[in-house]
């Protein structure tokens, strides 16, 4: 199994034809919960795998940051999808999505406390015990900090990664969004993150609304995020970058342009 490399794109049924026509594509990411674990893979995804394109299942429902133990059935689903697509790793979010039996329907941020570190570490370890491949953890975008934060973001992430041995899925757009909304320097965070642990990076578009920057995944990548990709790569280039787009899909020429811009910013070969 080959790990993700170069420039990839999030596989979605709505753009499956576009993705299939990318001649230099070497990896994609698929939302794990959209794949039936018993198979077969969705049409188009199996063809990509047959071409040697690496497929990384990306979970959104494990709720690794919840105080309740992670649901074994959800972990088993992620493990089965990883086996189905012969994935070299899987990824999930440092967030919670449910509590007390209630589903939030969104990725919710954690307080950066010692208690939260312990909860995430315990759930990641539970997941790791059942997963056939390594897991990469993604910090999310958030509009606020909790008042009981004890750690800054770099220390919070580093403690979790050190305690679990997990990899880091660094979302560059989230770094920009969090810095923009909290009035902080995104480069200061990059300088303190364990960039040697990055398995791959996400890049997505967003938009300003109501005085905040929203990580929408439905808008073009702003210049500031592309500049941040360059800053990341100047420090330590990740093995791979993935374009996330989850709606309001632009014409194919515009999507190819975004992929080319990512390749240029990172110094990777174009895939279009």
pLDDT of residue 271: 97
Residue 118: partners with Cβ closer than 8 Å, 6 or more residues away = none
pLDDT of residue 69: 95
Kindly state whether residue 1 falls inside one of the protein's structural domains.
Answer: no
Q: Residue 149, exposed/middle/buried by CB under 10 A (0-12, 13-18, 19+)?
A: middle
For residue 4, pLDDT over 90 is answered with yes
Domain around 257:
6-266
For residue 102, pLDDT over 70 is answered with no
For residue 174, pLDDT over 90 is answered with yes
Kindly state whether residue 271 falls inside one of the protein's structural domains.
Answer: no
pLDDT band at 104 (very low <50, low <70, confident <90, very high): low
Radius of gyration of the chain (CA): 18
Kindly state whether residue 163 falls inside one of the protein's structural domains.
Answer: yes
pLDDT band at 217 (very low <50, low <70, confident <90, very high): confident
Kindly state whether residue 140 falls inside one of the protein's structural domains.
Answer: yes
Q: Which token pair is 177?
A: 């969004």
What are the backbone angles phi and psi of residue 225, rounded to the nearest 5°? -75, -40
Q: Which token pair is 139?
A: 């910090």
What pTM was computed for the model? 0.95
Closest CA to 200 of 171, 220, 160, 166: 171
Closest CA to 241 of 1, 26, 59: 26
Kindly state whether residue 216 falls inside one of the protein's structural domains.
Answer: yes
Question: Alpha-carbon torsion 38, 17, 105, 152, what sign?
Answer: positive
Is the CB of residue 72 less than 8 Å from the CB of residue 123? Answer: no
> How many domains does the chain fold into?
1
Task: Render pLDDT for 226-262 as a digit per residue (tens, 0 to 9).
Answer: 999 999 999 999 999 999 999 899 999 999 999 999 9
pLDDT of residue 126: 98
Mean pLDDT of the chain: 93
Q: How far apart are CA 233 and CA 102, in angstroms?
A: 40
pLDDT of residue 101: 72
Kindly state whether residue 107 falls inside one of the protein's structural domains.
Answer: yes
User: To 10 degrees, what angle do helices 72-84 and 114-130 make?
Assistant: 50
Average pLDDT over residues 74-80: 98
pLDDT band at 28 (very low <50, low <70, confident <90, very high): very high
Kindly state whether residue 272 falls inside one of the protein's structural domains.
Answer: no
Kindly state whether residue 13 falls inside one of the protein's structural domains.
Answer: yes
Taking CA 122 as the corner, what is the angle to CA 90 and CA 119, rounded to the nearest 5 degrees?
A: 105
Write the CATH number for 206.
Answer: 3.20.20.150
For residue 207, pLDDT over 80 is answered with yes
b/e code 227-237 from CB counts within 10 Å (16+ = b): ebbebbbeeeb
Q: In the chain, what percentage of residues exceed pLDDT 90?
A: 82
């Amino acid at each position: 199994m080959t790990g993700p490399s170069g420039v990839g794109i999030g596989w979605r049924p709505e753009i499956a034809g576009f993705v299939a026509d990318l001649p230099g594509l070497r990896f994609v990411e698929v939302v794990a919960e959209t794949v039936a674990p018993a198979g077969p893979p969705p049409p188009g995804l199996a063809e990509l795998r047959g071409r040697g394109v690496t497929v990384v299942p990306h979970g959104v429902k494990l709720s690794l940051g919840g105080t309740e133990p992670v649901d074994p059935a959800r972990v088993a689903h992620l493990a089965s999808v990883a086996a189905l697509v012969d994935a070299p790793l899987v990824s999930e979010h440092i967030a919670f999505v449910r509590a007390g039996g209630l589903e939030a329907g969104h990725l919710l941020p954690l307080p950066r406390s010692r208690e939260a570190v312990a909860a995430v570490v315990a759930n990641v370890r539970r997941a790791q015990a059942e997963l056939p491949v390594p897991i990469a953890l993604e910090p999310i975008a958030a509009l606020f900090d909790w008042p009981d934060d004890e750690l800054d973001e770099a220390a919070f992430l580093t403690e979790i990664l050190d305690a679990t041995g997990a990899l880091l899925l660094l979302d560059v757009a989230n770094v920009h969004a969090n810095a923009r909304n909290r009035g902080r320097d995104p480069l200061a965070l990059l300088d303190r993150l364990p960039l040697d642990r990055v398995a791959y990076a996400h890049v997505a578009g967003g938009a300003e609304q109501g005085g905040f920057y929203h990580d929408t995944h439905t808008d073009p990548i702003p210049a500031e995020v592309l500049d941040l990709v360059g800053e990341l790569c100047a420090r330590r280039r990740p093995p791979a970058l993935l374009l996330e787009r989850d709606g309001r899909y632009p014409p194919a020429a515009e999507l190819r342009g975004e992929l080319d811009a990512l390749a240029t910013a990172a110094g990777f070969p174009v895939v279009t």
